[in-house]
Amino acid sequence: MYQLLSKLEELEAYGDGDGNQLSSIELAKLLPPSIKAMFQRDMENGQIQDLVLDRWYPWWRREIVKMEEKDDSNNNNIEEEEEDDDDANEGTIENVNTICKAKKWHSKTLDERLLRVPDYCGLGRNKDGRISNNSIDNVLLYNLLDILSATCWTLRLYHGVKNASRQAPVEAAITLIETSSVLSKDARFTTLPQVLSHCCTTTGSLMVRNNGQTVLNNNNNNKSINGTTAHWTVFMEDIAYLVTSHRLVGRAIFEASDILKAAIKELKDDDDNNNNTDSNNNINNNKSNEIKGKTNDYSNGKKLKQIRRLRKKLQFFLSWTQYPATVELFLGGNTNEEILAWTVERKTMISECQQDDDHDGDGNNDTNSKNLISMESFNLPSSVNTTHHQSKIYDDGNNVILETKRPLMVEVQSRRK
């Protein structure tokens, strides 16, 4: 990578011989084949992400956090030398503006944001004024696990909330919504195996669909792994790590909400730019452009409305997770152990099914392909059909899909009288 950068700087400084700078396409043509092959290999291995993306790691995994802290300690000498150079420019207007822009993203700490969370007592009361019982809390917990799984997937896919909000906010928001059945289909889960099986099926189909995407970090060398080689157990472990603390859950929901907030801002800016463009250009005599503009406005307006509703839904779950009774559920409950135990049991049963398939049909490719699909949806309980609303499961030949008759988005109604 350093050879590539040095070669590009050399070619860019040389130009075309007449003092004119070369374009990026012309620079790429002049690169030696060996450097092109090195760049392609580094890109496939995820070694160039630090050059184009802000540094990020799955902060809910303690072993990766410790690795990052170790790497930071090794770079302390380099940072101290850079600080010595910055001391000479300290106090200048340019330096102050740069520092303010760098710290603007982290202007509020997690504790400050948690203190501003609305009280769940005003949101979770029944019509008779009583707080919801334990059975309702369990249902909320199971639905929360689906949201956390989608959040972990989105953060891994877009390399953190900062990169997602800056690089592709609308795409990241759509990915988050479509991955979570609670958000996209208003699905209701009533048991822990039910939601875990659904999350495994969803992440498995997404990994096949996003072929070539890097979604996992290697714990050994902190490099990215191809999405097709990712295992569903990683996302089960992500959920198990998060539910150990209400602070981790709160941060995850905050980052999911920040992604939706960035998407709202992006859609609003697009509407403003389209309105300014239409006002400057005379399109009154072009009916096709007028119809197209109305269609785009409707589409963006519909997306804005849906994302705002779902952001309110996330705020409701956030208030519930910070409620004292819920905090006791996270800290004193055994949800983490149950998730890990279910993961181990499912791995054992899948390995047994694979061994049986190897003994039964070694030469039948069709049978093996069918077994692969059924194994992906293994241990999907029949209680999916006994949720709060009518739904059905069907197999489209590639993935097991849960279809619901409820509307796509459900607005969180106000409790005010």
pLDDT of residue 251: 95
Average pLDDT over residues 28-36: 75
pLDDT at 137 over 80: no
pLDDT of residue 45: 72
- 3-state SS string for the chain: CHHHHHHHHHHHHHCCCCCCCCCHHHHHHHCCHHHHHHHHHHHHCCCCHHHHCCCCCCCCCHHHHHHHHHHHHHCHHHHHHHHHHHHHCCCCHHHHHHHHHHHHCCCCCHHHHHHCCCCHHHCCECCCCCECCHHHHHHHHHHHHHHHHHHHHHHHHCCCHHHHHHHCHHHHHHHHHHHCHHHHCCCCCCCHHHHHHHHHHHHHHHHHHCCCCEEEECCCCCCEEEHHHCCHHHHHHHHHHHCCCHHHHHHHHHHHHHHHHHHHHHHHHHHHHHHHHHHHCCCCCCHHHHHHHHHHHHHHHHHHHHHHHHHHHHHHHHHHHCCHHHHHHHHHCCHHHHHHHHHHHHHHHHHHHHHHHHHHCCCCHHHHHHHHHHHHCCCCCHHHHHCCCCEEEEECCCCEEEEECCCCCCCCCCCCC
When mean pLDDT is compared over 144-153, 275-284, 298-307, the highest value belongs to: 144-153
Which residue did the predictor score with more confidence, 49 or 72?
49
In the structure, how many helices (H) and strands (E) does the chain have? Answer: 19, 4
CA gap 13, 351 in Å, rounded: 58
Q: Pick the range with the lowest mean pLDDT from 180-184, 294-298, 410-414.
A: 410-414
Average pLDDT over residues 258-271: 90
Which residue did the predictor score with more confidence, 319 or 207?
319
Provide, rounded to the nearest whole percent, the portion of the chain with pLDDT above 90. Answer: 24
pLDDT at 362 over 60: no
pLDDT of residue 173: 94
Q: Is the dihedral of CA 384, 386, 388, 393 positive or negative?
A: positive
How does DSSP classify residue 381? Answer: -
pLDDT of residue 118: 84
Structure tokens at 367: 């049978």
Which residue did the predictor score with more confidence, 291 or 356?
356
pLDDT of residue 170: 93
How sure is the predictor about 415, in pLDDT bands with cuts at 50, 70 and 90? very low
CA gap 163, 54 in Å, rounded: 7
Average pLDDT over residues 158-169: 90
Convert the pLDDT of each residue in 303-315 to its tens digit: 899 999 999 999 9
How sure is the predictor about 143, in pLDDT bands with cuts at 50, 70 and 90? very high
Average pLDDT over residues 400-417: 35
How does DSSP classify residue 229? Answer: G
Q: Pick the range with the lowest mean pLDDT from 119-128, 231-240, 325-334.
A: 119-128
pLDDT at 74 over 90: no
Neighbours of 393 (CB within 10 A): 14
pLDDT at 195 over 90: yes
Q: Pick the range with the lowest mean pLDDT from 38-42, 333-337, 350-354, 386-390.
A: 386-390
When mean pLDDT is compared over 21-30, 42-51, 61-70, 303-312, the highest value belongs to: 303-312
Q: Pick the range with the lowest mean pLDDT from 295-299, 374-378, 395-399.
A: 374-378
Residue closest to 106 by CA, chosen among 54, 149, 155, 58:
54
Q: Where are the domains of the chain?
A: 1-13+24-44, 120-282+293-404
pLDDT at 56 over 60: yes
How sure is the predictor about 133, in pLDDT bands with cuts at 50, 70 and 90? low
How sure is the predictor about 216, in pLDDT bands with cuts at 50, 70 and 90? very low
Mean pLDDT of the chain: 68
Report pTM: 0.63
pLDDT of residue 239: 93
pLDDT at 316 over 50: yes
pLDDT of residue 248: 93
pLDDT at 372 over 50: no
Provide, rounded to the nearest whole percent, the portion of the chain with pLDDT above 70. Answer: 49
pLDDT of residue 226: 35
